Structure 1
Amino acid sequence: MNTAPSSTIARGHSLPDEVAKRIRTSIESGSIEPGKRLPTQQELAEAYGVSRPVIREAVSILKSDGLVISQQGRGHFVNPQGASVFRLEPSFEDKEDLADLFQFLMAVEVAATEQAATHRSPSDLDAIRQHLDGLETAIRENRNGVDEDMKFHRAILQATHNAYFISFGEFLESRVRNLIRTARENTARSQDMVKRVQHEHEAIFKAIAAQDAEGARAAAAHHLDNAAQRLRIYLTPAD
């Protein structure tokens, strides 16, 4: 019978997600081999120090990924073919992981912004301008502008008229929403920082408006590079 790792999990905001992540790591490391049956819910609950409902939800997450399959009357098994879903789970505590994430985001967002500059329509530009103005209003009203920020970048993705950029952008947004929110909320604490971020947004908009693909690419890269640096500052404990 397979056995699960015995490291219990500290209570957090999303136990099922954390348990699913731990089980996924066990599968990827070979501790639980492809095609093998998962330990029982009771065994997993004891191994991770959580309740059986948490285990059920964690297994449900793994099933939705296609990493775990169920066999009637026999239990849950590791899918021999592996997961069918791409996952993105950035760790705020791991600086190397954050650096890798921003390199990945750079590849997607910069290319999308460049394409938006060459493919945008007048209505696309109006939408981007509207959300840029929304950001300006949020700044004046001393709000963090998280929703406006996300709408601004979403409008840029829409302007690519590329279904893959749009759908993958939505996936990225849902997975890094907390990161975006953290960065924006911390930025909002400093008016000087808020103005600098807004200037970066304005530079992106101007390049897209001018249909300057190279300029849009450079502006997006500058914005993401600065965003990464800002997040590193926010997440570095004070001495």
Structure 2
Amino acid sequence: MNTTTSNHILRGHSLPDEVAKRIRVSIDSGEIQPGKRLPTQHELANIYGVSRPVIREAISILKSDGLVISQQGRGQFVNPQGSSVFRLDPSLEDKEDLSHLFSFLMSVEVAATRQAAKSRNNDDLKSIRKHLDDLGSAIRKGQNGVDEDMQFHRAILHATHNGYFISFGEFLESRVRNLIRIAREKTARRNDMVKLVQQEHEAIFNAIEAQDVVEAEKAASQHLENAAKRLEIYQAVSTN
């Protein structure tokens, strides 16, 4: 494992997550082979320029993924079977990574919205409408409406009546939507942007209400494309 100071990590939102990501890259690239022992906590702390508690938490993350296993008295080893856990670790600072992320989201969320338009019942429609109205109310009160936004999209997932869409949507909620949450919080003061987002939500609802799968797909695609642009605006603001 390369021990040059270039591996040192700049202080950010989550050092353990970043360390875990770096170690994962070393494993994926073959720098640390499956079945091989990881460097000691002391060695890893020196490599990445962080404290040993940060290393311990990073190792815990890798263990929860099944990528690292403990052998009593011998240390931490790369699981020879590899990890069976699907992960998403997007970064707001990496434009290429965000582009790949939204391409992936497009394939999942557009399909889910299309399925919701096809499968929704009256109770689903009432739930989606309620959360959309709650979002509108929050916006009128000058709030960012982040939680209401999340509930709106969650109601759409439930309207698919497909357990896989629902379960995977919950995974995306925990791993990805926090990025959208951050961007929305940072740009919520822009009244023009808030109104545009709400118009996009209305278009999605109208298509689902009409059970128009083509328009639902179109509205969801437009919403995600615009969400990507809003994240770009956040990036520009945060780097200035």
TM superposition score normalised by structure 1 = 0.94
Partner of 1:41: 41
Relative to structure 2, which stretch is displaced further, 109-118 or 43-52? 43-52
Shift of 1:4: 5.4
Q: Give the whole-Å Cα distance in 1 for the aligned partners of 2:57 and 2:156.
A: 35
Distance 1:85 1:5, change over 3 A: farther
Partner of 1:128: 128
Partner of 2:208: 208
Partner of 1:10: 10
8 A Cα contact 2:180 2:231, kept in partner: no
Partner of 1:137: 137
Q: Give the whole-Å Cα distance in 1 for the aligned partners of 2:106 and 2:211.
A: 20
Q: Give the whole-Å Cα distance in 1 for the aligned partners of 2:179 and 2:121.
A: 30
Partner of 1:190: 190
Match of 1:77, SS state, is strand
Q: Give the whole-Å Cα distance in 2 for the aligned partners of 1:167 and 1:76.
A: 31
Aligned length: 237
Q: Is 1:162 paired with 2:165?
A: no
AA of the residue aligned to 1:168: F
8 A Cα contact 1:128 1:205, kept in partner: yes
Q: Which runs of 5+ in 1 are unaligned?
A: none
Partner of 2:233: 233
Match of 1:236, SS state, is helix
Match of 2:174, SS state, is helix
Q: Give the whole-Å Cα distance in 1 for the aligned partners of 2:212 and 2:3.
A: 53
1:20-45 CA-partner distances (Å, limit 9, x unpaired): 11111111111111110111111111
8 A Cα contact 1:15 1:54, kept in partner: yes
AA of the residue aligned to 2:114: E
Q: Give the whole-Å Cα distance in 2 for the aligned partners of 1:4 and 1:37.
A: 15
8 A Cα contact 2:68 2:77, kept in partner: yes
Q: Which runs of 5+ in 2 are unaligned?
A: none
Matches within 5 A, 1:67-78: 67-78=67-78
Q: Give the whole-Å Cα distance in 1 for the aligned partners of 2:204 and 2:167.
A: 21
8 A Cα contact 1:4 1:44, kept in partner: no
TM superposition score normalised by structure 2 = 0.94
Matches within 5 A, 1:5-154: 5-6=3-4, 7-154=7-154
Match of 1:181, SS state, is helix
Across the aligned residues of Structure 1 and Structure 2, the Cα RMSD in angstroms comes to 1.5
Partner of 1:175: 175
Q: Give the whole-Å Cα distance in 2 for the aligned partners of 1:223 and 1:147.
A: 17
Query: Identity rate of aligned residues, in percent?
Result: 73
